[in-house]
Amino acid sequence: MAPWLHAFLTYLEQSERSPATIRSYRSDLTALASWYEAAAGEPFDPATLTPTDLRHYKRALVEQQGLKPASINRKLATLRSFLHWASESGTATASLPLKVPKSEPKERRGPRWLDRREQNALLRSVERGGSPRDVAIVKLLLNTGVRIQELCALTWKDVSVSARKGTLTVRRGKGNKRREVPLNADAREALRLAGYEHSAGAEAAIFQGQRGPITPRGIQIFLARYGASAGLALSPHMLRHSFCKNLVDAGVGLEKVAALVGHESLETTRRYCEPSMNDLTRAVDLIGEAE
C-alpha cells in the first residue's frame, strides 16, 4: 500500500469512521491513482497534483460508461476529503490551490418505500415461510426504522418491554449518535417473538445467525428472498423508508420523524418522504368535480 494511502486510512480509523466508509474511500482513491498513472504515465503522488489533473479526472468520471451522478459525486466527495487531509498534513504541497470540481446534478429518483399493500404482502410472505426470528426482524424494521447495522448490533439489554410500552436504545447509530425509539405494540410483539421473555437484560445479540450474531448481509439475503416471494424487489433500507412514510401519512411532523430515525437535518428526512405518483394522483383527485 502506498504510504499516502496508508496514512490517510489510518487517519480515518482514528477519526472513528465506519469500516464501510473506510473501504469506500480506499476503493475510490485506489481507482483515482490507477486513472492518474494511466493518464499521466507516472506514479500517483498527491504532492504533484494540479488543478488540470482534477478537471480531467472529473471528465473521465462523467464519460465513464454507466457511472451515475450519485456515484460520481461520491468519488468527488472522497477526493475532497482526501485533499483536505493532504493539505492539513502536508502530504499535498501544490503551489496552486486544489479545488475539487463541482458535483454533478443529482438524478431525481422516485422514492423507494413499500405502500401498505406491499408491506402486508411482505409480512404474509415471511409469516408463511419464515422463522419467528425472521418475522420479528421484518416487524421491527417496519415499526422502528432502525438501520440494519443498528439492528444487528442490538442486544437484549438495549430493549425494554412491558405490557403497554417499550423502548429500544440505539447506542451507536450513524455518527456514533445515541437515540431512543419508543416501541409500539407491533414492535413489542416482534421482540416477544424473538424471545424477550427469556432473554431480557442479557448482553447477547438479539438476532442470531448460524455462526453468531446475524450480519447485515444475512438480513439482505433473506429479505430479498421473502421480497421475491411477494413479488417485490426489496432492499433493507426500503423498510426504513416505509417507516418514515407511514409516519408522515399518519400526520406526524418531520421533526419527530427525524428524531426517531436519527437524522440531523430535516432535509434528509424530507427526501425520504417525497410524494409518490399515487400520492400526487390522490391529491389532484381531491379537487376534481367529475363523478
**Angle, vertex CA 247, rays to CA 245 and CA 249, nearest 5:** 70
User: Catalytic annotation on 56?
Assistant: no
Instruction: Report yes or no: 145 and 181 within 8 Å, Cβ to Cβ.
Output: yes
> Amino acid identity of 161?
V
Per the residue annotation, which of 192, 237, 270, 271 is the catalytic one?
237
User: Catalytic annotation on 225?
Assistant: no
Per the residue annotation, which of 17, 26, 74, 174 is the catalytic one?
174
- Cell 450519485: give the residue: 70
Among 196, 171, 192, 169, which residue's Cα sits nearest to residue 182? 169
Order across the sheet with 159-161: list the strands: 159-161, 166-170, 179-182
User: Catalytic annotation on 75?
Assistant: no
Tally the C-alpha atoms within 13 A of residue 289's C-alpha that lie toward its C-beta: 0
Phi/psi at 219 (5° precision): -65, -40
Strand partners, 180: 169
Phi/psi at 4 (5° precision): -65, -40
Query: Cα Rg for the chain, rounded, in angstroms?
Result: 23
For the chain, the residue count is: 291
User: Catalytic annotation on 59?
Assistant: no
User: Catalytic annotation on 174?
Assistant: yes
User: Catalytic annotation on 68?
Assistant: no
Per the residue annotation, which of 147, 188, 241, 245 is the catalytic one?
147
Distances (CA, A) of 24 to 128, 176, 178, 225: 38, 19, 24, 27
Burial code of 243-279, b = ≥16 C-beta within 10 A, e = fewer? bbbbbbeeeeebeebbebbbbeeeeebeebbeeeeee
- Give the residue numbers annotated as catalytic, written as ranges: 147, 174, 237, 240, 263, 272
